[in-house]
A and B are shown apart, each in its own frame.
Chain A
Amino acid sequence: MSADNQFPQWEVFIQSKTGLPFKHVGNVHAPDSEMALQNARDLYTRRQEGTSIWVLPTNEIVASNPDDSDAFFDPAEDKIYRAATYYTMPEGAKHI
């Protein structure tokens, strides 16, 4: 499949219920945002998966580079005090 005979690609996010975060579910091809929404509706909400859809042009997404993962993510490894489980609960504290 060559890229030049396809419509632009859009990333699709579905919100399953009001208030919940949108989750990435996949992508669609479409000539513009309105048709991307319709295509996303057809492909990803046929079985009542959602109540709201976002579509974003794939090429607008800024992604981290896997080569940077050492610098990006490893420094968190030895900083266990950033997790709530590091702390012991003071005696007598309730409803936390």
Chain B
Amino acid sequence: MDINEALIKYCLRLGDDAMILGHRLSELCSNGPYLEEDIAMTNISLDLFGQTRMMYTTAGEIEGKGRTEDDFAYKRLEPEFQNVLLVEQPNGHFGNTMARQMVFSVFYYHLFTELKGSSNEKLAAFAAKSLKETTYHMRHACEWIVRLGDGTEESHWKVQDALNEIWSYRHELFEKDEVEETLIENGIIPDSASFKPAFDSSLQEVLDRATIVEVTEGWKATGGRRGHHSEHLGHILPIFQSIPRTYPNSKW
């Protein structure tokens, strides 16, 4: 695969992950469990949208066909989105939201830590900026998992259930196809296998503190990177894209 083609796809994947999760968190705006947490989740959502914009803009620049961040966000159909299935899973209860956030943020924390040394300036700058945000997102989610797990009997079983449910989705973050392999071979992105042990031990450390003895999982989620999504993305996009699709190219 051509390096530029791989770079465009890679940037879109990072952008898609951030945008869909950012959208999920934005659904909680005004619906948080208490005011401070409402603001925290909305803040994280805004950070993710900032990351999305950087990646979509970069993809458009490399592509050189004049496509903007809005074109990527609003004018693509479900199969064209290549986000991992993890990020489109519903918010559920607060434990579900935090379990999903923890897995996502811990992965991106380790990815960005490596990616900031990329030979590609754009990716390196993106990773350096995003790492600061992600470090906070990770800390926020992990601290909540600890408190829920080590909280009351009810919060413990609820977060245990949430972890059992989301655990199957973490494998997809480490999937590699032609896109990643091309970039790894050319020294542009790190091989995710290299930080898998660190990812695992970061999660284990949180589970230990949260007094979660074991997380059970029965299957491995896959498909998002090929555009095969769970039913949820099909519900997210019409909401997300409704205005630009109803009033194409309108300005406000």
Please state if B147 and A35 are interface contacts (CB–CB under 8 Å). Answer: yes
Within 8 A of A (CB), among B12-53: 34-37, 39-40, 43
- With A6-B34, A29-B34 as contacts: A42 and B39 at CB distance below 8 Å: yes
Pick the residue among A28, A32, A34, A46 that contacts B36 (CB under 8 A): A28
Please state if A31 and B147 are interface contacts (CB–CB under 8 Å). Answer: yes
Pick the residue among A6, A7, A32, A38 that contacts B40 (CB under 8 A): A38
Please state if A42 and B43 are interface contacts (CB–CB under 8 Å). Answer: yes
Q: List, in ascending order, chain B residues with CB within 8 A of A39's CB.
A: 36-37, 39-40
Please state if A42 and B34 are interface contacts (CB–CB under 8 Å). Answer: no
Cα of A7 to Cα of B107 in the assembled complex, Å: 30
Please state if B143 and A46 are interface contacts (CB–CB under 8 Å). Answer: no
Is A30 close to B, CB under 8 A?
yes
Within 8 A of B (CB), among A29-65: 29-32, 34-35, 38-39, 41-43, 46
Q: List, in ascending order, chain B residues with CB within 8 A of A38's CB.
A: 40, 136, 139-140, 143
Cα of A38 to Cα of B43 in the assembled complex, Å: 12
Please state if A43 and B36 are interface contacts (CB–CB under 8 Å). Answer: yes
**Least CB separation from A36: chain B residue:** B36
Q: List, in ascending order, chain B residues with CB within 8 A of A35's CB.
A: 143-144, 147
Q: List, in ascending order, chain A residues with CB within 8 A of B34's CB.
A: 6-7, 29
Please state if A29 and B36 are interface contacts (CB–CB under 8 Å). Answer: yes
Measured CB to CB, the closest approach of chain B to A31, in angstroms, equals 6
Measured CB to CB, the closest approach of chain A to B117, in angstroms, equals 27
Given contacts A29-B35, A46-B43, 10 further A-B contacts (CB under 8 A): A29-B34, A29-B36, A30-B36, A31-B147, A32-B147, A35-B144, A39-B39, A39-B40, A41-B136, A42-B40
Interface positions of B (Cβ within 8 A of A): 34-37, 39-40, 43, 136, 139-140, 143-144, 147
Interface positions of A (Cβ within 8 A of B): 6-7, 28-32, 34-35, 38-39, 41-43, 46
Listed by A's residue number, 20 A-B pairs whose Cβ atoms lie within 8 Å are A7-B34, A29-B36, A31-B147, A34-B143, A35-B143, A35-B144, A38-B40, A38-B136, A38-B139, A38-B140, A38-B143, A39-B36, A39-B37, A39-B40, A42-B36, A42-B39, A42-B40, A42-B43, A43-B36, A46-B43
